[in-house]
Structure formats: C-alpha cells, structure tokens
Chain A
C-alpha cells in the first residue's frame, strides 16, 4: 500500500475537522482534548461561549480563565452596563424600593380603573427589573461564573414573587445584598444575610411567628375588648383568637431541611419546633412608617434557654437576636451543612449523580475554609472528576440554562420588552417564581420528560427565525463565517460556533441533508442569510445543545 506523505494533511482537511471534534478512535476514557476542555469549562461555568471565547480559553488555559472570572471588576459588555443603568430599583434598600413603588391614595376617593392599573404596574416594577436584569446579566455579563453560581444560590436560598405582594419590594435588595454580594464569599455569611432579610422572612412566614400570648396578656385582651365593644361574647372570641397566635414552623423547617443540613439529617420534629421558638421575634419592621428591615422583637420571642440538636442555646441576655445568631453560626459550621452544600455544588457543576469522593473533598474544603465558596469552586474545577470524559456534555441543561445559552451563543440582541419570559414560563422555570422553597432542581430527572423537547424546538426555531418579539440574531453573527466558501461547509462553521465541542454523526448527517435539500431546490445563488436561520434553529434544538 502506498502511503502518501500528505495523507495526514489531507485527512485533516476533511470537513469534520471544522467542527473540532475528536478523532473517532478516541476511547471513551480518553482525556478531553484542549478544545473539549475549553468547551466543557465554558458550558459548566458560563452560559456558553461568546464568539472567540473558546479559542481564548484554549490559549490562556482554564486556570487563568477562572482566575479572571473571580476578579471583582466586571468589564462587561457596554450594552449590559447601559441597560442596568436604566433600572431604578436594583440598588435600592427595601425601604426605598417600597417607597418608590408606593402609590399615595386620596382618602375617601375610590380609584378609577386606570389608577388601579397604574398602581399595580408601579408595584410590579421591582419584579420586572429583577427578573430582567437577572436574564440580561446571564446573557451579557463577562463574569459568567458569577452568574452561573448566582443561579445556584438563587435556588438554594429560594424566595419567590408568587408568595405575594409584600415580597415585591424586598427582592431586588435580596438579590444584591444576600446573593450577589456573597457569591464568592463564605456560605455562613450568605446564610445569615438570608435569615435576616425581609424577602426570606416574608417568603417563609417567619415574620409572623411569635410566642403564644401569656395568661396576663389574654386577660388584658379580654378586658380591652369588653371595654371597647361592651360584649362579653366578643371578648371571649378575641381571647380565643389571640390564644391561637404563635409559632410558625415554616422557615425553621426549611432552614434545616433545605438551607443547611438536608432532609431529616441530624434533626427531628422537636428540633424544628425548638428552632421555630428560637427564631420567634425575627421579623420585619413593616408598616408604612417602618424601616422595612429586619428587626428583633423581644415581645414576640419565646424566652428561655432552648435545646436544639442536643445542644443548649441560652437566651440572649441583651434581649436581642443573639440566640438565633448562635444557632446560625452552629449550623454554618455543622458537618451536615458542609456535606449538603458540597453535594449540591458538585451535583450542579459536575454530574447529576455526584461522586462521593469529590463531595467528601469539597466538604473538607468547606470545613477547612469555613465555607469559602471560591475555595470550594476551585476544589471542584481542579478535580479529576470535573474533567473526566464521563462528565463531558452529560448534564442536561435546565430550561433556564437552555434559553440563556441559546441567546448567548448566538450573540442575540435583546431589547427590554423581549418576550422570553413566556418561554421560561411554559418550560416551567420562570425567574424568581419558584413556589417551592426547594428552588428549581438542576438534575435531568426534573426536566427531561417526554414532551419537553417540543417546547425547546419551538424556542430554537423562533429564536433563529426572529419570531420572538424584541430578540434578534444580528447579521454579524453570520458574518463570522466565510460567505464565499462552499455552501456545504456553512453547516460546519455554524456548528463550530454553536457546539464548540462538535456535533455527533446523526446531527451532522441531518444538517447535511437539510443543506442538500436547500441547495437542490434553489435555482438562485445560495444565500447564507437565507439558509442560516434554519440551520441555527436546528442546531439549537439538536440533542447536543441540550447538554452541557
């Protein structure tokens, strides 16, 4: 057999190398090549590569990229900066936000329908702004790792607009002060900030939780009601109602189950009640004249030393929230918390079924660094597991990840009124609207039901064909590929942009068929701007793009 000296070169000019995927001979266990490593990193710690980003990561290496991501300064896209500057509520305190969205009503005058509408609209401003800014940052921010982990914590310490209007004005500050401010800080700090934030206190009802009234207080209520109404019956009724006031276990339970230890881990029902008692008086200084901030109300607090998880927590002698604070400190240092947070982070960043070895390693980092989230993230990214081929492109994107990565990878222009919320809603993952305190799940079993692909295909083709109001893939996206090259190679160039890790045989074959059908039918000169959107829609709806 004659071997041409150029055979290697010739081979490399086959179209498939345009997609940059590995040689077919790669055994399943082969380490990821440079391009795959870059694609993998960008798929897990960002919402996908912007044009040129994959090559940049190949050039500077994963470590340098991550280091850059962890820097404070965000030299983001100027579009993002200008959008964010238009928002009015994102930097406000809860009090200022409440004041900003408050509509003064004239006494004794009924509102017209227009006035009612205007009032509702005004009240919704923080909701719209926090939802929109979250999406825009995820698409355009250069600090992608921050956005990705932001989504993790948004779900871990979930609060939701579905709870009702009292939460609206509190969420922008919650996003800024509790989550974004601590994404690269220490978990116990974030936990404490959440526990003392009006958004969480409202969301899990702790603002209402209080000790039951004493006999003396009940007698007082009876006396007052009788004096006021002159009715014995009303007085008895008032006492009955008042005597029911008391503990609300909602927050205490989720604090143990979802925020720190994990379900039924180390604690029992009696601990839930004990913790609820400890946290009585942790409430919001609400009302028109209140600070709208956390306040400890000693009058609502169950006084006394309380045993929790077998340990005694003495009453705060200063009549402050000290008892609850020491519980939060204990929970922040608890082995159960380290294990639970480590498991969730590994599941989120590496695999639906996380390896116990890596979880143990990350939990160790947690304990060593007191929950330092940079150190934990680094432990994960530096692990063998993270780079293993068995974890490469095997995690199913949530609807949120799917939609945002599609917008990012196509460099889509989005205007403020863009209607992507509808798609998130239909797919079951609207931003800041998860009713359950679990937050949205990040594993495939929660999202990959037969049927869901129909919605993704709809989004993919709508986006590619500019059918989504306020969203457009700019011509510059297509300008990245050589128009004058053979039309049969267009699909390869587009694949390289959208699937930097390459496409499988089935997808490439299908794209080739679509291209052929187009070229065979076409009597005029083939036009990239014409066939491009079809190919992009198919790529975004392809099996490969659903994975990260």
Chain B
C-alpha cells in the first residue's frame, strides 16, 4: 500500500493541537509540544512490547453483584431479592468475597494468579451523574472541567518520540467512536466495523486527494491562497489520519490473520456478541506484535435501576458475556498475555441497598479488575470497610477506599513502564499501590 504523503506524527500533533476542533486541545500535552521538548520517552526496558487493554462498563456496574461480599454479615439484609451465596454458585475468592456465578470462565485466571479484583475503587468526587463520573474517570481528573483529554491519550502524547510516523500504530479504539479516555491531541483511530471490506480500502484511495497533505495543485506543501482553513480543518485532519492509520491497521490484521491461520488457539471461543468479536480483533492486532500499546473498548448497559437480577437475569447475562469474552481473549493471546494488561472499570458502584424495583441506584465505590501478566492476582485488593451504616458513604453507598488514579498510576508504571510526571493527573498526589504488581 502506498503512502504518498508520509507525514510525521509530530506534524499531526501540531495540526491537531492547532485545531482544537477534531482533536481536543489537551492542555497538558500542548504544553509539552509548545516547549518542543518531550517528556522522557518511554523505552521498553526489556525490548518487549507492552500493552494495555481498557474495558469500560458504562452505566455504573453494581460492585456488589460483581465482586459479591457474600461473607459480610450485613450483605443479605441489604439485598433481599438480589443476594447470592456460595450455594447460588458464587466463585469463592476468599471468606468475604465471591465472583458472580456468571463469571465462571474467569476462574482459571483467578486460580493462576492473573486476575486481581479491586474492591471499593472510585473517584474522590461526590458526583452521581453518569456523564460527569465517566468523563472525569476517563480524563483522570475528578471534578476538573478544564481537562478534556483522556488519560490514555495523554500517555500517548507524553511518550511521543520525535520522528515517529502516524502509521506507527500505538493505540486504537475497537469501535466506531473512541472511548473518552483515548480522545485528545494524539491521533487515535476509532476502528469502523466495515474495516475489512474491500471497498473501504478503495475509498481510502479515492478520498486521499480530498484529505491528503495538499491537493495535486499544491507545491512545496504550502496552503493555497484562498484555502479557508477554518471551515473544515478538523475534518481534513481527521480524514487524513483515518486514511493512514486504517491502511496500516488493515495491513497488520491481514498479516496477523495469515500468520495465525494455522495457529488458532484451541479452546479460545469468543462469544458471538459484539464485545467478543471486538476483543478478537484486538487480539489479532496484539499478536501481530506491531507496537500496539493501548486499546480501548466500551461495554454499555450497566445502569440497572430495575430488574437487575441475581445469579440469573439481566446483569448475569452481561457478566457472562464479559467474562467469556475476557477469558477467550486471554487464551487467544497465549504468551502475549504476559506482556498485556487488561483493566476493567466502571464510573461508580451502586447503592448498597437494592431499590424498590429489584435494582439499584447510583452509588459511589465500584469494582475494578486488573488482569494479565505481572499483576499480583489471586487475592482481593482494596480496603473493605463493611456494610454497617456508619461505614457507608453518605449512609447509602460503598465508600471509596482506592482512588481510581492510584490504579491508573500503577498500571501505567508497571504495565507500560511509564512513570507519570507530576501534573499528569491534575491535583493528584501519587499513592503507590505496592501490592498490585
């Protein structure tokens, strides 16, 4: 595939930073760009390619129906229709916690020490708005309306190396629109589902002239007079990045499919769901070992105000899909899992008491999972303060005992080998979670 206008990613960044339309102006990354010095670049210490896959459960997944505190003496009373116990098939983690019965496919990851559940993780901010809570979590900046770039995008922008080309494929969102954590100045591809169609590559060629570095009449890379830059500058940039990165991705996936054709890992059966199929594609890219560092994927629908269900039901169905997907993904990755970390998060947990409709309302502390090589799995992380009224946040929710930024920080450091400089998470003093990795 030809690249008529090889363009450095730095140019993209400059363009992107100047536009502020398509690619949000990230104050932090802009600062770095403006000073023309880049933060100490990330060099993989051992030469291996480390990567992080982030799964966001949108809607506020109910902590107590995922990592279930069956051993807490007050649990059952709070959850008359939802409560489960070991007899309901909970996967025992320890004497207090069990995983929801629909998550059996994660059992082997737990047993092999590759799954680390974190209880009562969340934001120091009090909001119970989905939309603020999601934004602030994905921007890594609770309560701060000034930050508009995602924490993962900041990571990519900060570790940007001079002379990198945009076709060097460091990150993707495996869905049509990016998770907010990946939005920002660094150009990240949102992968359209029609990616593999032939006509989609024909279109890339056809529209290159319209979105390329310049029209055919341009010489010396200068804007032609009369170019109304403000009209559609953001669109042009977005289109240009689309062409370059999609071509690269198509090549990677084609090569990986060829390479892995005879080596389909036995036993890794992804669910037919959209989630499962997207994970499968991410695995293909990771196995190609072409430098993918960050992939993001959303899982919608966790706002269980009514008919949440216990061992069976609406939430159980989602948990089953989630778990079989993750489990298949890990098997599929094989040895690549050693250098891959999967982070599962949600914007907040839900009320300790179930509400009047066999559901739960917006709460506070939530569940997180860190899965993969290097993580200290096989034990439950985080501080559980119990379900006595005096220990609940505002008398109704799980209190947050682990700041989600502590987890992000640990993952960046240990999974991606990147030590976030001060200010990376605004107004945050790092608290090292020594036990997580």
List residues of A whose CB falls within 8 A of some B CB.
24, 28, 205, 208-210, 212, 237, 240-241, 243-250, 253, 257, 263-264, 269, 272, 352, 390, 392-394, 396, 426-428, 435-436, 438, 444-455, 457-458, 461, 504-507, 509-510, 513-514, 537-538, 541-544, 546-547
Contacts and interface: CB of A to CB of B under 8 A. Distances in A.
Nearest to B245: A450
Contact of B301 (A209, A427, A435): A435
Residue of B22, B148, B216 with most chain A CB atoms under a 10 A cut-off: B22
B189 A248 contact: no
Nearest to A509: B215
Contact of A506 (B132, B224, B305): B224
B144 interface: no
B361 to A, nearest CB: 5
A513 B216 CA distance: 8
Closest 9 CB pairs of A and B: A451-B190, A543-B232, A509-B215, A245-B356, A24-B226, A510-B209, A450-B241, A449-B190, A246-B356
B339 interface: no
B351 to A, nearest CB: 9
Contact of A454 (B203, B225, B226, B362): B203
A99 B131 CA distance: 37
19 contacts: A208-B356, A237-B80, A244-B81, A244-B353, A269-B394, A392-B231, A444-B22, A449-B188, A450-B23, A450-B189, A450-B242, A451-B191, A457-B207, A506-B214, A509-B217, A510-B215, A543-B231, A543-B236, A546-B232
The B interface is mostly helix, strand or loop, or mixed, namely loop
Contacts of A210: 356
B111 interface: no
B357 A208 contact: yes
A453 B305 CA distance: 36
Nearest to B191: A451
Nearest to B127: A264
B18 interface: no
A356 B189 CA distance: 33
Contacts of A269: 126, 128, 394
A193 to B, nearest CB: 23
B242 A454 contact: yes
B178 interface: yes
Contacts of B215: 505-507, 509-510, 513
Given A241-B81, A250-B305, A457-B203, A504 B235 contact: no
A454 B359 contact: no
B80 A240 contact: yes
B129 A257 contact: yes
Interface residues of B, number: 74
Interface string B168-188: 000001001110000100011
B21 interface: yes
Contacts of A542: 210
Contacts of A461: 199, 203, 206
B302 to A, nearest CB: 10
Interface in B103-160: 126-132, 148
Nearest to A443: B21
B355 interface: yes
A175 B45 CA distance: 59
Contact of B357 (A248, A445, A509, A510): A248
A390 B230 CA distance: 8
Given A263-B129, A448-B235, A248 B194 contact: no
B234 interface: yes
Contacts of B192: 426, 451-452, 454-455, 458
Contacts of A208: 306, 356-357
Contact of B239 (A209, A248, A453): A453
Nearest to B188: A450
Contacts of B231: 392-394, 504, 543-544, 547
A463 to B, nearest CB: 13
Contacts of A240: 77, 80
A513 to B, nearest CB: 5
Nearest to A546: B235
Contact of B129 (A24, A264, A509): A264
A452 B354 CA distance: 40
Contacts of B207: 453, 457, 538, 541
A426 B195 CA distance: 11
A428 B203 contact: no
B238 A246 contact: no
A426 B80 contact: no
Contacts of B204: 454, 457
B87 interface: no
B209 A513 contact: yes
Contacts of A444: 21-22, 234
Given A212-B356, A269-B128, A510-B209, A458 B194 contact: yes
A509 B210 CA distance: 9
Contacts of A537: 206
Interface in B193-250: 193-195, 197, 199-200, 203-204, 206-207, 209-211, 214-218, 224-228, 230-232, 234-236, 238-239, 241-242, 245-246
A449 B200 contact: no
Given A208-B356, A396-B21, A453 B211 contact: yes
A396 B233 CA distance: 11
A352 B24 CA distance: 12
A461 B132 CA distance: 38
A393 B233 CA distance: 11
A451 B242 contact: yes
A24 B362 CA distance: 55
A146 to B, nearest CB: 28
A269 to B, nearest CB: 7
A401 to B, nearest CB: 13
B238 A393 contact: no
Contacts of A435: 300-301
Nearest to A164: B307
B177 A538 contact: no
A396 B214 contact: no
B354 A458 contact: no
Nearest to A238: B80
Residue of B194, B228, B230 with most chain A CB atoms under a 10 A cut-off: B228
A543 B129 CA distance: 35
Residue of B132, B235, B306, B361 with most chain A CB atoms under a 10 A cut-off: B235
B227 A452 contact: no
A319 B219 CA distance: 78
Contacts of B354: 244
Given A245-B356, A393-B231, A506-B236, 16 more contacts: A205-B306, A209-B356, A240-B80, A247-B355, A250-B305, A250-B361, A394-B230, A426-B192, A449-B190, A452-B177, A453-B207, A458-B194, A507-B215, A509-B217, A537-B206, A547-B235
Given A253-B362, A505-B217, A244 B355 contact: yes
Contacts of A447: 177
Contact of A396 (B24, B128, B235, B306): B235
Nearest to A455: B192
Given A449-B183, A452-B242, A241 B80 contact: yes
Given A451-B191, A454-B192, A538 B301 contact: no
A454 B131 contact: no
A450 B210 contact: no
Contacts of A546: 232, 235
Contacts of B193: 426
A544 B357 CA distance: 50
Contacts of B241: 450
A543 B80 contact: no
Contact of B230 (A28, A205, A246, A452): A28
Contacts of B305: 205, 248, 250
B1 to A, nearest CB: 15
B110 to A, nearest CB: 31
A485 to B, nearest CB: 23
Contacts of A352: 21
Contacts of B214: 506
A272 B127 CA distance: 12
